[in-house]
């Protein structure tokens, strides 16, 4: 089965990991800080904290921003469940803002209306998680302006979007948000096997996330409640976790980072080739805002079902029967049984549900050959 996404591992990656494997440190050594500095410098952020997954990064980001019981976290329903679950981990309540009909990202107009209602009800969110779906950045300027008016904090879930740009600047620089999160899962743009990162320009947030990813324990005398008992001394000053990234993962990430711009450029070339080849078919290709240079993690088409003699599910199944590992990103999170049982109502996100009824992710990854892409296009044409 041709996957919808997959990693690219080259000899330089293998050499980098082997070198660490034979070194003194498998974890808590010099390579993680080097990887953090390299990503921070690349995207223009002051601080980067590497962790063992983007899910962990989202969790410590929420905690660092003070999310807790009684608070609300809002996000888009068209995302992986982790963008919402991080709120529940903190004991907060989660709600969803409908998507924009063209970008499929959280819709700033829907957000504005919901904020107005929430203000009247005294239930404004503490955090909004803006998910850059497929790698295309959200309308961050609009979301940021609303955050100033209503006093919420912003986390960018840029799990799909490292290497992409918003208004000419790399995503992750934090101009319009408090914290940005990247994922390095193998289907994402660069990989560390499992892994993630939280970036910020705020030293207090960086310090808190640093503590939270490693048991809430510090060796920094400046953070301690009293003078050290001796050279062995450390203090636990928070309830933290073990969310650390290993040296092996960081070495792989550093090596992959060298090819980031090439990966994103190649993904954009493949996406444009799909756009051109699929233009005449009864489907909608991914619309791109002029402010955005997408990381192109996913290539999502939407079927024009009224013009097709098959159901969404039949088209999907026929592609799978031909070994094309299409996927559907994502099932609206508010329709998941776990969220239904928490009381999420479907009527609030009609655009997200329309999207779900029509969307299919086609394979897109940098090692995909032109021949393979042509074959996928031919099969899709044939089915439609």
Ligand X SMILES: *Cc1c(COP(=O)(O)O)cnc(C)c1O
What is the spatial distance between Cα 243 and Cα 52, in angstroms, rounded to a whole number? 5
Say whether residue 82 binds ligand X (CB under 6 A). Answer: yes
The size of the interface with ligand X (CB under 6 A), counted in residues, is: 14
Among 126, 160, 244, 296, which residue sits at the site for ligand X (rule: CB under 6 A)?
Answer: 160
Q: Kindly give, in sequence order, each residue whose CB lies less than 8 Å from that of residue 55, ignoring residues fewer than 6 positions away.
A: 82, 85, 86, 196
Q: Which of 93, 96, 89, 33 is nearest to 63 (CA)?
A: 89
Q: Which two tokens stand for residue 16?
A: 């980098």
Per-residue binder mask for ligand X (CB under 6 A), 189-218, x = binder: -------x----------------------
Query: In terms of CB distance, is 300 or 384 closer to ligand X?
Result: 300
Say whether residue 80 binds ligand X (CB under 6 A). Answer: yes
Contact 189, 135 (CB under 8 A): yes
Q: Kindly give, in sequence order, each residue whose CB lies less than 8 Å from that of residue 223, ignoring residues fewer than 6 positions away.
A: 207, 211, 235, 237
Query: In terms of CB distance, is 53 or 268 closer to ligand X?
Result: 53
Q: Kindly give, in sequence order, each residue whose CB lies less than 8 Å from that of residue 72, ignoring residues fewer than 6 positions away.
A: 87, 92, 93, 94, 95, 118, 123, 124, 125, 126, 127
Radius of gyration (C-alpha) of the chain in whole angstroms: 21
Closest approach, Cβ 48 to ligand X, in A, equals 15
Q: Which of 307, 279, 301, 266 is nearest to 104 (CA)?
A: 301
Per-residue binder mask for ligand X (CB under 6 A), 121-140, x = binder: ----------x---------
Per-residue binder mask for ligand X (CB under 6 A), 295-334, x = binder: ----------------------------------------
Query: In terms of CB distance, is 193 or 310 closer to ligand X?
Result: 193
**In the block, residue with structure tokens 């300027």:** 141
Name the one range near ligand X by CB under 6 A: 51-59, 100-108, 244-252, 362-370. Answer: 51-59
Q: Which of 49, 30, 27, 51 is nearest to 40 (CA)?
A: 49
Name the one range near ligand X by CB under 6 A: 9-17, 136-144, 156-164, 227-235. Answer: 156-164
Query: In terms of CB distance, is 172 or 278 closer to ligand X?
Result: 172
Q: Helix, strand, or coil here: 275?
A: helix
Closest approach, Cβ 132 to ligand X, in A, equals 8
Closest approach, Cβ 181 to ligand X, in A, equals 7
Query: In terms of CB distance, is 58 or 251 closer to ligand X?
Result: 58
Other Cβ atoms less than 10 A from the Cβ of 213: the count is 23
Among 7, 147, 183, 255, which residue sits at the site for ligand X (rule: CB under 6 A)?
Answer: 183
Closest approach, Cβ 277 to ligand X, in A, equals 26
Other Cβ atoms less than 10 A from the Cβ of 307: the count is 10
Say whether residue 83 binds ligand X (CB under 6 A). Answer: yes
What is the spatial distance between Cα 73 and Cα 86, in angstroms, rounded to a whole number? 9
Among 7, 53, 192, 200, which residue sits at the site for ligand X (rule: CB under 6 A)?
Answer: 53
| Chain residues in the site for ligand X (CB under 6 A) | 53-55, 79-80, 82-83, 131, 157, 159-160, 183, 185, 196
């Amino acid at each position: 089965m041709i996957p919808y996404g997959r990693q690219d591992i080259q000899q330089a990656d293998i050499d980098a990991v082997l070198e660490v494997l034979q070194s003194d440190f498998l974890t808590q050594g010099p390579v993680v800080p080097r990887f953090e500095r390299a990503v921070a410098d690349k995207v223009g952020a002051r601080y980067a904290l590497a962790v063992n997954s983007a899910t962990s990064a989202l969790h410590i980001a929420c905690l660092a921003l003070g999310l807790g019981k009684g608070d609300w976290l809002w996000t888009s329903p068209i995302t992986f469940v982790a963008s919402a679950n991080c709120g529940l981990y903190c004991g907060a309540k989660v709600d969803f803002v409908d998507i924009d009909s063209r970008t499929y990202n959280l819709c700033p107009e829907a957000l504005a209306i919901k904020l107005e209602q929430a203000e009247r009800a005294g239930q404004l969110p503490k955090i909004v998680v803006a998910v850059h779906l497929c790698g295309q950045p959200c309308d961050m300027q609009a979301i940021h302006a609303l955050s100033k008016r209503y006093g919420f904090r912003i986390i960018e879930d840029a799990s799909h979007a490292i290497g992409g740009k918003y208004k000419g600047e790399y995503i992750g620089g934090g101009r319009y948000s408090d914290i940005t999160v990247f994922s390095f899962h193998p289907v994402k743009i660069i990989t560390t096997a499992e892994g993630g990162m939280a970036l910020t320009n705020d030293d207090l947030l960086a310090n808190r996330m640093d503590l939270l990813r490693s048991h809430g324990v510090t060796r920094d005398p400046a953070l301690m409640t009293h003078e050290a008992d001796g050279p062995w001394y450390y203090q636990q000053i928070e309830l933290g976790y073990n969310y650390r990234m290993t040296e092996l993962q960081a070495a792989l990430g550093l090596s992959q980072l060298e090819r980031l711009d090439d990966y994103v450029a190649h993904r954009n070339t493949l996406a444009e080739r799909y756009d051109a080849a699929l233009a005449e078919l009864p489907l909608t290709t991914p619309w791109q805002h002029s402010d955005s240079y997408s990381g192109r993690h996913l290539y999502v088409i939407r079927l024009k079902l009224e013009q097709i003699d098959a159901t969404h599910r039949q088209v999907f199944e026929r592609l799978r029967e031909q070994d094309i590992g299409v996927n559907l990103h994502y099932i609206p999170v508010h329709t998941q049984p776990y969220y239904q049982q928490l009381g999420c109502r479907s009527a609030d996100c009609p655009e997200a549900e329309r999207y779900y009824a029509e969307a299919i992710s086609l394979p897109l990854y940098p090692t995909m050959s032109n021949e393979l892409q042509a074959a996928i296009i031919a099969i899709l044409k044939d089915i439609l």
